Structure 1
Amino acid sequence: MLIRLPCLRLSLLVALLSAAVPALAEPFHVGLVIPQSGQFKPLGDHVREAFSVWDNANPGVFDDIVEGEDGCSEQAGADAAAAMIEAGANVVVGFLCTESLAAALPLLSDENIPVITLTVRADIIGEEAARLGWKFFRLAPRAGSEADIASEAILRLWADKPFALIEDGAISGRELVEAIRIKLEERGLKPTFVDNYRPGQATQPSLIRRLKSAGVARVFVGGERSDLAVIAMEAERQGVALKFMGGDLLHAPQGELPLPDGTLAVLAAGATPGPEAEAASRILKDNGLIAEGLRIPAYAAAEILGTIATRMEYSETSLDEALRSTTFSTALGPVTFDENGERREPGFVLAILRDGEFKRLSIEGAARIGGDGQ
């Protein structure tokens, strides 16, 4: 016999049942705009592979992952943005080039679609995004923070030693060394010697003679790994005892000459994964992939979006607000974004070369090195 409950009691029962069952999150469509041809294709492959691995390990979290082409030009950026809008993407990861990102950001922001970049470091992009209200989020390290970490390391390790700042004359090297010099002098520490050198040489005898004449013992090199290797070789040949530090350009394949063991480097955090990346590295390895290039940063982006997609509050707040208000546990470590979409945690870390491989240094490790005379 069918028993009909009074309307009031039925309404109350429905309300109680509804309260006991969490509301389902809205469909979540992820867009990847990545290079699919040309010299940057391997990096685009890294992003695709990392998202595929995460998605296979967490089925059903993303409704779909759609891809667009990042042709690294303004027109390519605009075309990719239009394609993502048409595909109904909720969020876009990628735009590995500054030109395409700058063109796409205003178009996607007008449609309330946040963009997460894994590679673009230019400070100006973040400044423009903040000024114009673009929905911009940066997992890549901000360019200016490289000098922050380098100057802090020099203050911590070299403040009581004569040191030099040298650069290769390229815009990137010159700007990095100048930024470090300014930050150090603002805190009362001046380099003993500042100079530049000609890059791409097989030997650097005159540079080493100048460094020897200046009486320095430590040298920060704003230049490429191959040049630092030549400088170190020449210093050893002339019997000048020097210890070296460099920037993110040291994260490059070893050339004919090795860097001296103990070389310090300020590297992008994604280039030298810490213990937080062990689980991601393991699952990548299980899928036949090495944790290199953009695979760890891209995996971290998938973790961030997976957290957002499964939040019960997703239907109650905008995606960009959720990105700004959440602390994410990722393969890059904790990730939080400020009101302008910049990551609050340092994008660069201090590392040391041991047995041909850069290893991330903790504060305690840096202190021990300082005590050992670095």
Structure 2
Amino acid sequence: MDKETDLLSRLAANHLHLAQFEPLRAILTSLRTKNPDLALAILQTIVSNSGRFDNTLWSQSCPNPSLLTFLSTLELLQLNNPTSHTWRFDSVTLRLRVEFLLLIQLLIDRVTESLRKNVDLDRFEKEEGEIGVGESSGGRGEGEGEGEGEEEGFLDNFEVLKDGSGELEVLDKVLEFGVKRLKGDVDLDGNEVGGSGRGEGSSSGGVVAIEEGEMMCLRKVILDNADVFDALCWNVESQMKGMKVENENLGMEITVRGEESEKVEEEGVELFDLIRKCVQLAHLDAMKECSKEGDEGVFSHIRFLHLDRGLEESEYRIVLQDLLVRVLSKRKGYGTSWHVMQEKLLRIYEEALSSNCRHLVEMIQAMLRTLLLNDFGIA
């Protein structure tokens, strides 16, 4: 390695540990002309480690490892053979796995920010200390009423933190799953990493066990971040299609390596299925609650329904039929109520079309036709 290349490498390391991506990008651009293999190796190292390096000082422009991984992947994909010597999958799969990581990190950041807004952490720690001192001194004395109020506020904050910590714990598990799936399959010498099956970075990846009950604690997070979870579901489905193709191409290899790889592969698919299923359950439950309360917000959940994401078709039928019956029951003659009913039906169709699920639209259309013919006598 010549002196200039060595200097550029040191500068790249400095910018990396300071989380200064734009200067790092400029250094890597220079390295690409002098030593493209070294630039490729640096970017692959960043991505395969999911941007996690000791003693990194995260900056405002690059506040977490997931964003660093995503930005590095964008640069990596501009190079020739971006996954060579590190992963056995292609560049499309790499992009999907990195996007998965970024989406989960976005959810973690939003939950954390929500906790900070709802709970004054400094005040919480102060109140925790004061209550502890009060209990140890015994009795409440003259400030008993005030102390009760402070303790009640402390308990409220504690409940908020408890719920938030549970949500973050589940999201952290999913994030770790994404991190393990970016680990390299082979080392610099071309040897398989880990020595078992297809390596942690293969399509199976390392799986973190998450039960359905744990995932459903994210119900509020799912509803508050519906667009992010919708993007996450599309990402997961694209990955599952890629995993299926990869398994078909490597069928002989999987058979030789035994049942262990197949088991891990199945567990990875189960986690993806669980994510999609829980998103659907959250929106259906929200629709049931909104329908009972007559909340117009019920329509906004329809765009996030998809009939091929782990639930029985009958579960969708029950909720949608109840909604249609409620809308049609508001009609009284051909006056204002008729136009209101038409507007609501059009809103249902609009949201269903936005779901990009043809089967859902066809189901609503068939159900509406049946209701109009049988129950309301409208041809």
The TM-score, its normalising length taken from structure 1, stands at: 0.24
Rg: which structure is higher? 2
1 or 2 for the larger relative contact order (CA 8 Å, sep ≥6)? 1
Give the structure with the larger strand fraction. 1
